[in-house]
Amino acid sequence: MITKTMQDAINEQIKNEFYSAYLYLAMSAYFNASNLPGFAGWMRKQSQEEQGHALKLLDYLEDQQAQVVLKAIEPPPAEFKGPADVWQQTLEHEQKVTKMIHGLYELALKENDYATQTMLQWFITEQVEEEKTASLILEQVKRVGESGTALFFIDRHVGKMREE
Ligand SMILES: [Fe+2]
Ligand SMILES: [Fe+2]
């Protein structure tokens, strides 16, 4: 059993995770249109991963017999200024999501909601990975600049990073 406040906050985060999925799908399309298929593939996988995050939270609400309320998802941007801009926005977006997850955890602490605290620990760890990966790729893209051969090598490398 979780409180209505906690339930509302988790429903809000389900929407936020779907927005992340939408944002990364938009970035994937942008990269494909820019002839950067490696970055595009990474973003497509990340979009799927974000849907997984949303479903993890949704499953948790169901397990707690709480009500799932799906909200409208804002449209993501369709235009970006270049590869570095996209990776910069990715990092900033993940930093924002980290704050959201921490906010949820603080709420769970305030409510002495131990089950939700435990569930959120997975997300806290995941956010460390998300920020680390986004900042690593951003630094590489910034270092080589936005055109030239080196960018195509990074693109290929990033594409291979998450080929299963
Ligand atoms: Fe996420
Ligand atoms: Fe991840």
| CATH number of residue 71's parent domain | 1.20.1260.10
Structurally, how many domains does the chain consist of?
A: 1
Question: How confident is the model over 86-141, as pLDDT tens digits?
Answer: 999 999 999 999 999 999 999 999 999 999 999 999 999 999 999 999 999 999 99
Confidence band for 147, pLDDT divided at 50, 70 and 90: confident
Question: How confident is the model over 44-78, as pLDDT tens digits?
Answer: 999 999 999 999 999 999 999 999 999 999 999 99
- Ligand in closest contact with the CA of 52: 1
Domain that holds residue 76: 4-161
- Ligand in closest contact with the CA of 131: 2
> What long-range pairs does 37-44 form, CB within 8 A, spacing at least 24?
37/155, 37/159, 38/154, 38/155, 38/156, 38/157, 38/158, 38/159, 38/160, 39/83, 39/86, 39/155, 39/158, 39/159, 40/159, 41/159, 41/162, 41/163, 42/137, 42/158, 42/159, 42/161, 42/162
Residue 81 φ then ψ, to 5°: -85, -10
pLDDT for 146:
78
Residue whose structure tokens are 């799906």: 70
- Ligand in closest contact with the CA of 13: 1
pLDDT for 164:
59
Residue 65 Cα to ligand 2 middle (Å): 27
Residue 35 Cα to ligand 1 middle (Å): 26
Residue 49 Cα to ligand 2 middle (Å): 7
* Mean pLDDT rounded to a whole number for the chain: 96
Residue 121 Cα to ligand 2 middle (Å): 14
Residue 7 Cα to ligand 1 middle (Å): 18
Question: How confident is the model over 14-44, as pLDDT tens digits?
Answer: 999 999 999 999 999 999 999 999 999 999 9
